Chain A
Amino acid sequence: MNNLELQKTANEVRKGIIASVHSAKCGHPGGSLSAADIFTYLYFEEMNIDPKNPEDPDRDRFVLSKGHTAPGLYAALAHRGFFPVEDLITLRRLGSYLQGHPCMQMTPGVDMSTGSLGQGVSAAVGIALAAKLDQKDYRVYTLLGDGEIQEGQVWEAAMFAGHRKLDNLVLIVDNNNLQIDGTLEEVCSPYPIDEKFQAFKCHTINVDAHDFDALRAAFAEARRVKGKPTVIIAKSVKGKGVSFMENNGSWHGVAPNDEEYEAAMAELEKAGEALCQK
């Protein structure tokens, strides 16, 4: 996909996030929106996947370690064809296959159940290890929150991945700088993130999470790196794409009401129309 197509798709993913969280009356729009471009790039450009064969043993894998941003993952999966887009609004409802946090048994295309922070990255390491063991060339991607890296398990996983030279593994840190209780600096600063991962024998790349050229270059660089896992630190804007949610931590885990939903969707519709004019 070219950048314009990616932008259009990301805009649709953002609409899916707003629609599903609004429908559920709860969920996590802020971090889903900040990662929407990353989800889009992974599922529409980077990863070797087939919606018709979601269990293909040779497929690339994605583990959403920051599992609370499931609405973003679900929207990307739906638009990629893993399940109907109309089903997004069943998010968090009784009987829905779209659980509050990703559940691999229930949702086509979800490679690992996650939700408890710090755990997904270890599973991604295990999958990358399996690929090495089986001498398969599929790649493994995992998305972490920047607050999530306060979890010690993340560093246990990074140490193992660096030690085992898992160059088929890419960690992406969605660095929107906001967690529930405030900014990262206010709560418990993990900075400098890149130097920390470098100390754990990982290759690091700093990018703008909303610039598809930058994402394209970063993921291409990650493929060229041998003998080390790559960590892409993606500087993002929490709530990106919905102006009243941007850089506002209070939208971490709150759904828009009907009025806010209308405003958000109108803004995204307008953005989509502008992209179609290009």
Chain B
Amino acid sequence: MSEIRKAATREGYGKELVALGAEYPNLVVLDADLAGATKTAMFKKAYPDRFFDCGIAEQNMMGIAAGLATTGKIPVVSSFAMFAAGRAYEQIRNSIGYSSLNVKIGATHAGITVGEDGASHQCNEDIALMRSIPGMVILNPSDEIEARYCVRAALKYRGPVYMRFGRSAVPVINDREDYTFEMGKGVLLRDGSDVTLVATGICVDSALNAAQLLEADGVSVRVINMHTIKPLDEEIILKAAKETGKIVTIEEHSIIGGLGSAVCETLSEKYPTKVMRIGINDQFGESASAQVLFHEYGLDGEGVYNKVKTFL
């Protein structure tokens, strides 16, 4: 079997911003002293006049973006998820969300795969925070290719969007001719009838790997890639609940407030179904390599497989 190509979702983000720079003259990019890491440095190089480094001041950066947006600019602001969604939460809510301003937030280094930097930088709460803001769209791509489609869709959409990207290189799983991306629509990646794995972000690959292992045990597994967490594709979830009976959610995020919570909110109201939430339990992360942590916290294919076995 040939080696699977790997790339970080933040790479796709950086590349697509450059591509969109030509199409959108009003696109401006802001960063908070992390342009190399967030990959907005690519845009800075291509369009230096439309790039603004705000220094290590994320709250001010969100406000500047809001002001720019009132004049018709389309600001994309970047920082690590911890400092974008976390530190600047209130600025995002009040300066951007409340007025539904056309600001896109590109948050990189989300989740525990930040790795060695440890818990202070591993944001497993950003989806929960952003989901609570009225009107906020949340996109969480599964690989570098999907990351590019997310950025493109976010620019096309008018209103605030939170885009979540990772630091670590992950397998490219969407490299196929018939790939399409529609904001707000889950993607059926594999059909099955015994259980549905609803995954988001880099955990989609884990779900596909787990599904293969489960299939070998004779379990028929459906896999859904939920790249848009808000607005949630309720239709695909309800259909899966009715047809497979059991739902597992998988995310590199706290099991509180993220995809798992969103799916449970929908199902408990519209079609009560047994759900297993796989993610970061109510705990902080720790230092280690991304790969080690992903395994340790049971988010890789093997970890998901083992947990789903106990649920069947």
Contact = CB atoms under 8 A, between A and B. Distances in A.
B55 A160 contact: yes
A160 B68 contact: no
Interface in A121-154: 121-131, 133-134, 152-153
B40 interface: no
Interface stretch (A21-29, A109-117, A238-246): A109-117
B94 interface: yes
Interface in B66-81: 66-73, 75
Contact of B52 (A63, A128, A129, A152): A129
A65 B271 CA distance: 46
A111 B91 CA distance: 17
B71 A57 contact: yes
A129 B54 CA distance: 12
A119 interface: yes
Interface in B35-81: 49-50, 52, 54-55, 57, 59-73, 75
Interface residues of B, number: 30
26 contacts: A105-B99, A115-B94, A116-B95, A119-B90, A119-B95, A122-B61, A122-B67, A122-B95, A123-B66, A123-B95, A125-B64, A125-B67, A126-B63, A126-B75, A129-B64, A129-B68, A130-B71, A131-B71, A133-B28, A133-B49, A153-B57, A153-B59, A156-B55, A157-B63, A159-B55, A160-B54
A104 interface: yes
A51 B55 CA distance: 37
**Which interface class (under 10, 10 to 19, 20 to 34, 35 or more) fits A?**
20 to 34
Given A156-B57, A156-B60, A159-B55, A127 B98 contact: no
B98 A113 contact: yes
Contacts, number: 104
A130 B71 CA distance: 7
Contacts of B209: none
Nearest to A157: B60
Interface in B89-140: 90-91, 94-95, 98-100
Contacts of B63: 119-123, 125-126, 153, 157
Nearest to B28: A133
A113 B68 contact: no
Contacts of B99: 103-105, 112-113
B94 A119 contact: yes
A129 B51 CA distance: 11
A156 B64 CA distance: 11
A153 B70 contact: no
A127 B67 contact: yes
B95 to A, nearest CB: 5
A122 B98 contact: no
B67 A129 contact: yes
B65 A126 contact: yes
Contacts of B28: 133
A134 B28 CA distance: 12
